[in-house]
Amino acid sequence: MAGKTRKTSAKGAKRSAAKRGSAKPRLLAGGNPQIAKGYGDAPVQTYIAAMPGWKRDVGRKLDALIVRAVPGVHKAVKWNSPLYGMEGDGWFLGIHVFTRYVKVAFFRGASLHPVPPGESKQQHTRYLDIHENDELDEAQFTAWVKQASQLPGERM
């Protein structure tokens, strides 16, 4: 039957599209949700909703603190990680899920005061790792977010 193509009914195509749209995102190594690249709040909220277990609550808290600290912040999901930035100025922060913690990357973290604790192979980047039973210092996190939003962002 070479040269023949399979015909799909409109009803079958709609069913397949609906099935894909309602499917839960796949979790990659370490439990990081696989979310399609997208800009705006919707893909970030999809990522947060797909974060496994206690990490979902951490994601919601971080997102709320960032939005409160930087009104009008721009959001995107790239490379299976939510990014936060300023319009036309690049990204200042990213979030990524690992097996035992949630990693917050401040792309110009070496310029923050005090400097976030996690070192990086990149000269300017610093990390904050949040484990399950860690108590997030919301005031310090918010201060870092405000500072980071005023620095030149990363172009990704």
The answer to the question of residue 26 being in a domain is no
Dig out the tokens for 32 from the structure: 């990081």
The answer to the question of residue 8 being in a domain is no
Is the pLDDT assigned to residue 132 strictly greater than 60? yes
The answer to the question of residue 113 being in a domain is yes
Q: What is the pTM of this model?
A: 0.82
Model confidence at 128, pLDDT cuts 50, 70, 90, reads very high
DSSP state of 154: B
* Owning domain of residue 103: 38-149
Model confidence at 30, pLDDT cuts 50, 70, 90, reads confident
The answer to the question of residue 87 being in a domain is yes
The answer to the question of residue 141 being in a domain is yes
Give the angle 104-110-114 at the CA atoms, nearest 5°: 85
| CATH number (domain holding residue 66) | 3.90.1150.200
Phi and psi at residue 97, in whole multiples of 5°?
-95, 135
The answer to the question of residue 9 being in a domain is no
The number of distinct structural domains making up the chain is 1
DSSP string over 22-40: HSPPPB-GGG-B----EES
Contacts with 100 (C-beta within 8 Å, 6 or more apart), sequence order = 131, 132
Confidence (pLDDT) at 6: 45
Phi and psi at residue 110, in whole multiples of 5°?
-65, -15
| Strand ranges inside the chain, DSSP E | 38-39, 74-78, 81-86, 90-97, 101-106, 126-131
Dig out the tokens for 137 from the structure: 């210092």
Confidence (pLDDT) at 31: 78
Is the pLDDT assigned to residue 138 strictly greater than 90? yes
The answer to the question of residue 129 being in a domain is yes
8 Å CB contact between 64 and 74: no
Percent of the chain predicted with pLDDT > 70? 85
pLDDT in tens, 59-104: 999 999 999 999 999 999 999 999 999 988 899 999 999 999 999 9
Confidence (pLDDT) at 13: 42
The answer to the question of residue 17 being in a domain is no
Confidence (pLDDT) at 2: 52
